[in-house]
Structure 1
Amino acid sequence: MGKKLTINDIARIAGVSRQTISRVLNNKPEVNESTRKHVQRIIEKHGFRPSLQARSMVTRQTNMVAVLLPDIANPFFGEIVRGIERTLRANNLNVFLMTTEEDAGLENSYIQLSQNYNVDGMILCSPRLDEPNLRRIIPKISPVVLLNREVDTDGVACVFVDAYYGGYTSAKFLIEQGHTKIGIIVGPPRAYSSMQRLEGYKKALQDFNIPLEGDLIKQVEADNKGVHQIAEQLIKKQVTAITTYNDLAAAHVLQTCTDLNLKVPDDMSVIGFDGIEMTHFMNPTLTTMSLPLFEMGQTIANILIKMIKGNETFDKITTVYPILKEGRSTTPFKVLGKKLRAGKKGELT
């Protein structure tokens, strides 16, 4: 296999300067038409493709955006990425997607890799990196859009879900249905949005004068391992409703109820969070705090595009509010109470 041609090789063959080749490759106007056609024929004849690094040295742009996420297998992120990718592609930008599996070492390595590739910008969802680290990193890779994090510094915009509102609204909905023994499953403490859901839950109990029971608050890791066991623990505490930090955790709760011969919602009400597509296919369909995930991805991408262009105004902070969408996984407590008093097999003992 012959040596791969460089931009200097093409310039020598065409008998023009390296700068002329660069202008043709980047469709710049400062080249007369006959020279442009001559260079294009040489490029086509030799099948020349400029390296990303060489192009970026001339244009100072790579047309590449790094997207750093903890878990692409989670449909929450998958739908957001779909909105991001489609919007960036429509603006001639490519996605450099990296998943960290919530490993702090991988996050730092991928951020360094993005810097080495001289990406035009980054979309960063990083539950592991603390604020001092984010403040140190952002100037090196800006512009940056943070998902579900808020850092007030130059070169960054933030798009986050009002999880406090979501936690409050889901708990309030259950309380207004007559439930007072409500369990909650939240993610790890490092996940800011998960902790905000918990604070909203606590405020709803307070507003309705329902005592807070610490043993009805359960935490799991982001991979949802242990949800089945935790759901069993809550059921043994005789909760009549469980609200969760995402729809996948809610799906685990539904399965736990099935395994224990409990019917949802006849014996237990369950609420999720995110509104991923699979909630429509659960049995029963899931009541959830729904988010416009695809549109969130579009919003994130459009903000970053404005930041890259540098001549357009953009929102430093964009807040997305979840909306309660009722499925068939919740029921008023008075209905549940009748079934329990009738001594049916769903009795929680």
Structure 2
Amino acid sequence: IEKRAHTENYRLFVCDTDNDMDREEAYLQDLYERRVDGLIVASSAASGHVHKSLKRSTAPVVLIDRELRDVPFDTVRTDHEAGAFLATEHLIKLGHRRIGIVVGTGSESVHEQRVDGYRQALEQHGIPFDPDLVKRRDWETGHESVDELLALSKPPTAIFATNPVVTVAVLVDLKRLRVQVGTDIALVAFDDLDTAELFNPPLTVVAQNPTQIGSTAIDVLLQRISGEVTGPPQEIIFRPSLLVRGSCGSHRIHEEVT
């Protein structure tokens, strides 16, 4: 985004909200007062106040990665449901039927979309959805999610972690519990961490393409600013890919199916 903006003689202001909706709303107001030419927003908000603030923008807005269904702006994002489906189906094809999913705790729509993809894969393969296998986890909320999964009468043989913060937290929890990834339990993560190949074993991940998303978002925004593109909002969705490494083990599991 920055490289393309610089090439087109635009300056880039970066505002990190840290998933804080009040901070997001304050930043938006500040940018409006600066009369910026356009905004690229990865909103963390389910808040109506933030949605109303976005609607007040007189400059073009492009949403990235997050879907806000009641705001009339262009959106460039990953197909989160398809990515979660890929991850879950990969585990199913390895023989897993008890698959835990650990989800982030924010209000972003991506969390529910990834759970939906997980459920769709289970349904397509005739595996009943078990709400006990769905846990919420971030870095601050303690270790209960993984502990609770492994304490079930029928614990999961695999875990799907739905974002990088959750992935690292799950890895820390499994290490504390002396559960070996790839041997004792399979693990798939959503998002390709820079260090994913350095873990032992390397992590199997659903990989987004942030460069593609960013370059497309700035292209769409510049076209709106110039008037080259007019008309109703467009939604551009990119399908992620599955990078298979060692964290799911090297062969199919054998478990009793009842």
TM-score above 0.5, yes or no: yes
The residue number in structure 2 matching 1:30 is none
Report the secondary structure of 1:98's partner residue: coil
Rounded Cα–Cα distance in structure 2 between residues aligned with 1:227 and 1:246:
16
Q: Contact 2:204–2:247 (CA<8 Å) still a contact in 1?
A: yes
Contact 1:189 1:195 in 2 (8 A): no
**Which of 176, 182, 191 pairs up with 2:93?**
176
* Count of equivalent residues: 251
Give the AA of the match of 1:247.
P
Q: Is the 8 A contact 1:253 1:270 kept in 2?
A: no
Deviation at 1:117, TM superposition (A): 0.3
Distance 2:47 2:227 in 1: 27
Residues 90 and 196 from structure 1, CA distance in 2 versus in 1: closer, same or farther, beyond 3 angstroms? same
The aligned residue for residue 123 of structure 2 is 206
User: 1:254–1:336: structure 2 CA closer, same or farther, 3 Å change rule?
Assistant: farther
1:234 aligns with 2:152: no
Contact 1:177 1:332 in 2 (8 A): no
For each residue in 1:280-332, what CA deviation from the matched residue of structure 2 results, as whole angstroms up to 9, or x when unmatched? 22222110100111221111111111111112469711102111101110126
Higher helix content, 1 or 2 = 1
2:113 to 196, 200, 207: 196
In structure 1, what is the equivalent of residue 169 of structure 2?
A: 252
Distance 1:335 1:249, change over 3 A: same
Q: Alignment partner for residue 322 of structure 1, among 240, 244, 251?
A: 240
Cα distance in 2, alignment partners of residues 153 and 258 from structure 1: 43
Structure 2 CA distance for aligned equivalents of residues 235 and 112 of structure 1 = 46
CA distance in 1: counterparts of 2:205 and 2:175, whole angstroms: 19
**Partner deviation per Cα, 1:210-231 (whole Å, 9 max, x = no partner):** 122111100134xx33364312
* 1:144 and 2:61 correspond: yes
AA aligned to 2:145 is I
Is 1:305 the equivalent of 2:257?
A: no
Q: 1:246 to 1:153 in 2, by over 3 A?
A: closer
Task: Note the C-alpha offset of 1:121.
Answer: 0.5
The equivalent residue for 1:33 is none
State the shift of 1:264 in Å: 1.3
The 5-angstrom pairing of residues 1-349 of structure 1 reads 84-130=1-47, 133-134=50-51, 137-147=54-64, 148-151=66-69, 156-188=73-105, 190-221=107-138, 224-226=139-141, 228-237=143-152, 238-312=155-229, 316-331=234-249, 334-335=252-253
Q: Which amino acid aligns with 1:168?
A: F
Name segments (4+ residues, structure 1) moved above 6 Å. Answer: none
Unmatched tracts of structure 2, length 5 or more: none
Equivalent pair of 1:122/1:141 in contact (CA under 8 Å): no
Q: Structure 1: which 5+ runs fail to align?
A: 1-83, 338-349
TM normalised by structure 2 equals 0.88
Q: What code does the residue aligned with 2:129 have?
A: L
Q: Is the 8 A contact 1:247 1:288 kept in 2?
A: no
Q: Aligned Cα RMSD in Å?
A: 2.3
Structure-2 change in CA distance of 1:206 and 1:312 (3 Å): closer
1:109 CA displacement: 1.1
Secondary structure, aligned partner of 2:156: coil
Q: Distance in 1 between matches of 2:248 and 2:26?
A: 44
**Displacement, 1:158?**
0.5
1:89-130, Cα deviation, whole Å (9 max, x unpaired):
121111111111222221111111001000011111112244
Q: Distance in 2 between matches of 1:319 and 1:131?
A: 24
Partner Cα distance (1:236, 1:335) in 2: 20
CA contact (8 A) 2:206 2:241 kept: yes
Q: CA deviation at 1:152?
A: 6.4
Cα distance between partner residues in 1 of 2:97 and 2:180: 19
Identity %: 27
Which has the higher relative contact order, 1 or 2, with Cα contacts under 8 A spaced 6 or more apart? Answer: 2
Larger-Rg structure: 1
TM-score w.r.t. the length of structure 1 is 0.66
Distance (whole Å) between structure 2 residues aligned to residue 212 and residue 276 of structure 1: 28
Cα distance in structure 2, aligned partners of 1:318 and 1:202: 24
Change (3 A) 1:308 1:125: same
> Which whole-Å CA distance do the structure 2 matches of 1:336 and 1:228 have between them?
28
